[in-house]
Structure 1
């Protein structure tokens, strides 16, 4: 079993999770203005990504540029990983490839704790990505705890590139924002993503 074989019901009972579902949970995050470079890249890429219609195209042409912008916004004092193996616990199904990982560590050669955000790319149906993303978040929680880096909250994102949905994991409580945020409101999406990064002396911007 791997992240992509998990479902929400099994995760809830196997990990004794409490689910809180509501609209607009992350809607109060301050907006973050995109750079002109990011706007230009997306203007060129969105139509192509949608026309190709695959997760890979959406990941490379829409999602990755947005996450690279976030990396630069924090002056490369966080790290970004794409398509990496993240095997934490085979018996519990916490194994497989993560589409994107954000870590508070600036180390870029390998994934290092604390992992703070996991991003799952989907071609169309966001709901199908929720259990995959949550499984990766649980994996990150265990990964961080192994090195006694018990960061309080881990965040998750499921996105088609043009639609974004956000969730969080705090201990055994999962909050799922039922609102789907459109890429047409890019400053809101960037603001929510930036709000997931705790401000530390090393990454203050």
Structure 2
């Protein structure tokens, strides 16, 4: 069984296996199609041009993928939803004693005017390792789940409980969506790719998540 040693400092990125979270938090891993009935959203010309421009620069680092492929997609959602915001590379310390601390790649929040996280509801993890097109998304699941657990605990402490928290692991080219509901950690059986059809589905899922929490705010 996975246990913290005394004075052992851990962060989200130190979680490698979901079994670690099963032992610590009672998480149960499950799989299903999370968004079976969503219709795609047509991307704007602005987004398409931004993604086309990405072909003009080398996409061989985490920073390049983030700036030229992930951020344009997130900004597309932000333009459609001014009552939502996202934080990037944000220090999100919730419970250091349980390893729920460290930097998050991206966190969506229902607060728009704050400079600090107020109500996190969606976490995005950039997968690491390998060449950009072939990185394993599975290696990011445990970290994503840890951040989602932290988001739920954070909201409970703030008096804004969120029974469901969503997440995503992406290498920019491929996106895998996640859902934490009660102790069930759901992994979407579908994968979405940053191509013409996949992009519209990614936008549709992100829009669905935003509307779900904004409408229930």
Deviations 1:170-201 (A, max 9, x none): 12111101322111121001001111121646
Residue 19 of structure 1 aligns with which residue? 29
Deviations 1:27-74 (A, max 9, x none): 4222122110000000111563xx432222111111011111111111
SS at match of 2:100: coil
Question: Are 2:75 and 1:68 equivalent residues in the alignment?
Answer: yes
2:34–2:188 contact (8 Å) kept in structure 1: yes
SS at match of 2:140: helix
- Aligned Cα root-mean-square deviation (Å): 1.8
SS at match of 2:96: coil
Tell me the number of residue pairs that the alignment of Structure 1 and Structure 2 aligns: 198
Structure 2 unaligned blocks of 5 or more: 1-9, 129-134
Higher gyration radius (CA): 2
Q: What pairs up with 1:82-121 in 2 under 5 angstroms?
A: 82-113=88-119, 115-121=120-126
TM-score by length of 2: 0.86
- Runs of 4+ displaced beyond 3 Å: 199-203
Deviations 1:107-150 (A, max 9, x none): 2422111x110000124221111111111101100110011111
SS at match of 2:148: helix
